[in-house]
Amino acid sequence: VLFAGALSAQEAQQPGFSDFWKNFQSAVVKDDRESVANMTVLPFYWGASLDRGGFLKAYPKVFDAKVRECFRQGKPIKDGPFQNLFCGRLMYRFGADSGIWHLLEVADND
């Protein structure tokens, strides 16, 4: 219940994020690569600029078992106009363009 309340407060400041998060989180946990790709800004940078095919090929490294578990349990943190999820040494950053949320990048958590 506390988690739902936290999302409701975020929703007031960042419309659409809670619905996006539920869908993205579910897709990652289920290892639904196509759905995750649909909710990711492409080209995607992972050592190189990747188109959709490259993203799908890199997916097992971007979303390995530990990261999928982090997505199952983790809660994004608001950072200005963004939402970030920290999974070990990586930060998954989400943002909205014209009200539509996407995964923007994965970066080192420094």
Strands 82-87 and 77-79: antiparallel
Say how far apart CA 89 and CA 108 lie, in whole Å: 6
pTM summary value:
0.85
Mean pLDDT across the stretch 12-33? 90
Q: What is the pLDDT of residues 46-89, one digit of tens each?
A: 999 999 999 999 999 999 999 999 999 999 999 999 999 999 99
Say how far apart CA 16 and CA 73 lie, in whole Å: 20
Report the half-sphere exposure of 108 (CA within 13 A, side-chain side): 2
What is the predicted pLDDT for the residue at 44?
95
Q: What φ, ψ does residue 86 adopt, rounded to 5°?
A: -100, 125
Say how far apart CA 87 and CA 78 lie, in whole Å: 15
Q: Which has the minimum average pLDDT: 3-12, 49-58, 60-69, 94-103?
A: 3-12
Say how far apart CA 55 and CA 81 lie, in whole Å: 25
